[in-house]
Amino acid sequence: METKKPYTHFQVSTHSFIRTFHHSAEDKLFEWHRDKKERLVYVIYSGVGWKFQRDNQLPVLLISNQSTFRVKAEEYHRIIKGDDGPLVLYIEEK
């Protein structure tokens, strides 16, 4: 059985992609996780209330066309679902 994802994925190139997270997705799909590769993340669009949180840190509000952050390989982190509208991220893997 395939695991349901809270986003749609569009591959831009070998090492970059766009993910659109949907506020209508179930809360339980937004889990703490680690990625195998380092990622540089650019927020293209953020609806109301979307946040990013690293392990042992407070959540940070994501702002359209302003927020960027780097996630190291194997670093625990999560996206906190917003109240309205999607979250669109451009992600480059290193």
pTM: 0.93
- Structure tokens given for 20: 């659109």
- State mean pLDDT over 12-39: 95
Radius of gyration of the chain (CA): 12
**Per-residue CA distances from 90 to 39, 50, 58, 78 (Å):** 10, 15, 23, 16
Q: Which of 19, 23, 37 is nearest to 91 (CA)?
A: 19
Please report the sign of the dihedral spanned by the C-alpha atoms of residue 60, residue 87, residue 7, residue 90. negative
Q: Is 12 exposed, middle or buried (0-12, 13-18, 19+ CB in 10 A)?
A: exposed
57-79 confidence digits (pLDDT tens): 999 999 999 999 999 999 999 99
